Amino acid sequence: MSTRVKICGLRSETQLDAALDAGADLVGFVLYGKSPRNVSLDEAAALVHRARARAGVQAVVLTVDPDDTLVDRVVAEVKPDILQLHGHETPERTEAIRRRSGLIILKAVPVADAGDVADAFTYLEPEGGADILLFDAKPPADPAALPGGNGLTFDWHILEEAKAPFALAGGLTPDNVAAAIQLTGAAIVDVSSGVETSPGQKDPELIRRFLRAAKAAKQS
């Protein structure tokens, strides 16, 4: 089975259609005001509704340390298939969000070494809250840095002991995604800045190239 591909940070119908037409398995929408890829709840709801017209595609809403009010509004108004948590949510908070939302939870974890990877699996333990882990590069030390979408890679070899199916993000591009899949065996690859010409501006040709490279890659 080929690796599934998530195109994240989509902001318009044109961008969404480019991802869907290229064969994306998952499409992501960001609810985080500091991100250049941020959309409103109403915009996210309209894009999720449009994505649902394509069979087999899952819609993902990305939030950063959401409070209960935001979780409730995402569930009631946006109705995604998956809720991505990309902040400092603890396993306890992640489990609380999963129970409250009833959604599949994709928990992003920033990693820099094998110890970070091992620690991340706490989220997959009973009451850990996550259904699947997303390994991403640690953001820069700058307090103003975004929690993701920074175009940074990390040493993929640190994932060698990651046994459970996981998602991979962090600096992926059409030129390196095949190598990433071959080395890590990631179940999902997640790209945002790697298919952009500038922050938030998705390029249809880069999206197509990314999908072609990812779908043609052979997992290790």
List beta partners, residue 26.
6, 58
- Pick the catalytic residue from 119, 131, 136, 155: 136
50 three-class SS: helix
Cα separation, 83 vs 124, in Å, equals: 15
Phi, psi at 83, each rounded to 5°:
-110, 120
Q: How far is CA 132 from CA 108, 111, 124, 165, 188, in A?
A: 9, 15, 7, 7, 10
Active site residue 81: no
Q: Any idea which residue has 């990433």 for tokens? A: 180
Active site annotation includes 8: yes
Cα(181)–Cα(192) distance, rounded to whole angstroms? 17
> Which residues have C-beta within 8 Å of that of residue 34, sequence separation ≥ 6?
146
| Rounded CA separation 191/58 (Å) | 15
> Is the CB of residue 167 less than 8 Å from the CB of residue 187?
yes
In the chain, the DSSP E strands lie at 4-7, 26-31, 58-63, 82-85, 104-111, 132-137, 166-168, 188-191, 196-198, 201-202
Q: Which residues carry out catalysis?
A: 8, 136
